Structure 1
Amino acid sequence: MQFTQGMEYFFSGFKLISQKGLKRFVLIPLLINILLFGSSLFFLYGWLTDGFAYMNSLLPEWLSWLEWLMWPIAVLVILFSYSMLFTVITNFIAAPFNGLLSEKVELYLTGQKINDDSLFDTMKDVPRMLGREWTKLCYYLPRAIGFFILLWILPVIGQVLWVLFTCWMYAVQYEDYAFDNHKISFNEMKNDLKQKQTLSYGFGLAVMILTAIPFVNLIVMPVAVCGGTRLWVENYRSQYRS
């Protein structure tokens, strides 16, 4: 079944990131994740501390215990709601490194180089890679706003559609690196993924579940890039080879 196969592609990324020759290319995206996540949590902790101190100063002394009740609630809400925003930010910063990781995974799986670009050529390609991330963001935002509004109008239907949309976007995000390495346009990539939507939804669901788990989500990005590249190699690569 394509849906479960899509999930298996994601989880195969855990094995790929540990392979000799690939581990060093995983390190930079992983460090970016850790540094951004750690620094943002430090900022949020300071913001919450100041906020709760101000709130506590307004409460009568007999209600001061509310601070201890609200701390764990606030932390859980922030950790889980922050995951998608965190993903968007880190993908922008890590896009060149994710593209390089995808290229090396494809070389590992196929034994064939995508191109013979030098380091200088790769650096010149960074603006195009960031432009691709901007294209994905422009595709995501208006749809996300629409589905968010629908959540309030039709809660049950809205929740189902939101989950499906999130799965789709995670698939678009992480399967796209291999397509982009071959200079395949964003629209053509989307059309290809739509031909095997169930495969992409299974992949995206696995990404979504692990992204929602605090601290586990630190390693999701390189795992998803590796798994998404394997999915590309085994399902789409042949149709673009002469």
Structure 2
Amino acid sequence: MQFTQGMEYFFSGFKLITQKGLKRFVFIPLLINIVLFGSSLFFLYGWLTDGFAYLNNLLPTWLSWLEWLMWPIAVLVILFSYSMLFTVITNFIAAPFNGLLSEKVELYLTGQTVNDDGLMDTLKDVPRMLSREWIKLCYFLPRAIGFFILLWVLPVIGQLIWVMFTCWMYAVQYKDYAFDNHKICFKQMRQDLKQKQGLSYGFGFAVMLLTAIPVVNLIVMPVAVCGATRLWVDNYRPNYR
């Protein structure tokens, strides 16, 4: 079943990040994720605490119990929306390093280099990589806003659609590095992913679950890049050789 296979590809990334020759390329994306994700959650928790304290002071005593109801709701919203948005932003910053990690994972798996560019050529390619991240961000934001509104208008249907959208975006985000390394346009990449949607939703679902787990979510980014690259090698790379 493609959905299960997609999840397995993600979890294979845990083994890949420990392989000799790859660990040094994991370090920078991991450090970026730890610093940005950890510090943002710290400030977000403080903001929520202050916000709920302010709100609680406005409520009459007999409604103070609402604070305990709002906390779980706020946490769920953060886990399934903030995490996705933050992932997109973090990957924007880490894009050159994630692209390099994906390239080295493909070399490790296939024994073949993606390209023969030197360090200077790689540095010159950074603006193109960031432009690709901007394309993904423009693809994500309008849909995220629309589905987020639907989440509140039609809670049950909206939650299901939001979860499916989140899974899809995680797949798009992390699979794209391998496609981009081969200079395959974003539109073509999305079309290829739609041919095997089960793989994408399964992969994205695994990413979503682990992104929602404190501490574990700090290593999700390099694990997902590695797992997505293995998925690319097995399922999409043969079509472009």
With the length of structure 1 as denominator, give the TM-score of the two structures.
0.88
Structure 1 153/106 Cα, relative in aligned 2: closer, same or farther at 3 Å?
A: same
Does residue 193 in structure 1 map to residue 223 in structure 2?
Answer: no
SS at match of 1:117: coil
CA contact (8 A) 2:167 2:203 kept: yes
Map of 2:113 onto structure 1: 113
Give, in whole Å, the separation in 2 of the partners of 1:76 and 1:29.
26
Amino acid at match of 1:120: M
Bigger-Rg structure (1/2): 1
Q: Structure 1: which 5+ residue stretches go unaligned?
A: none
Map of 1:7 onto structure 2: 7
Structure 1 109/118 Cα, relative in aligned 2: closer, same or farther at 3 Å?
A: same
Map of 1:91 onto structure 2: 91
Map of 1:101 onto structure 2: 101
Q: Percent of aligned positions with the same letter in both sequences?
A: 80
CA contact (8 A) 2:36 2:90 kept: yes
Deviations 1:166-191 (A, max 9, x none): 11111110011000000000000001
Deviations 1:9-68 (A, max 9, x none): 0000000001000011000000001111232234335545665776788799x99x98x9
Amino acid at match of 2:185: S
With the length of structure 2 as denominator, give the TM-score of the two structures.
0.88
Amino acid at match of 2:197: Q
Give, in whole Å, the separation in 2 of the partners of 1:240 and 1:232.
11
SS at match of 2:117: coil
**Offset at 1:114?**
0.7
SS at match of 1:213: coil
CA contact (8 A) 2:84 2:166 kept: no
Does residue 31 in structure 1 map to residue 31 in structure 2?
Answer: yes
Map of 1:160 onto structure 2: 160
SS at match of 1:160: helix
1:177-216 correspondence runs (5 A): 177-216=177-216
1:140-151 correspondence runs (5 A): 140-151=140-151
Give, in whole Å, the separation in 2 of the partners of 1:69 and 1:143.
31
Give, in whole Å, the separation in 2 of the partners of 1:57 and 1:46.
17
Amino acid at match of 2:120: F
**Offset at 1:160?**
1.4
Give, in whole Å, the separation in 1 of the partners of 2:240 and 2:58.
65
**Offset at 1:125?**
0.6
Does residue 137 in structure 1 map to residue 167 in structure 2?
Answer: no
Give, in whole Å, the separation in 2 of the partners of 1:110 and 1:130.
26
Give, in whole Å, the separation in 1 of the partners of 2:52 and 2:91.
32
Aligned length: 239
Give, in whole Å, the separation in 1 of the partners of 2:166 and 2:53.
36
CA contact (8 A) 1:13 1:224 kept: yes
1:20-59 correspondence runs (5 A): 20-44=20-44, 47=47
Map of 2:234 onto structure 1: 234
SS at match of 1:219: helix
CA contact (8 A) 1:79 1:214 kept: no
Amino acid at match of 1:178: A
Structure 1 78/226 Cα, relative in aligned 2: closer, same or farther at 3 Å?
A: same
Structure 1 223/153 Cα, relative in aligned 2: closer, same or farther at 3 Å?
A: same
Greater alpha carbon shift after TM alignment, 145-154 vs 227-236: 145-154
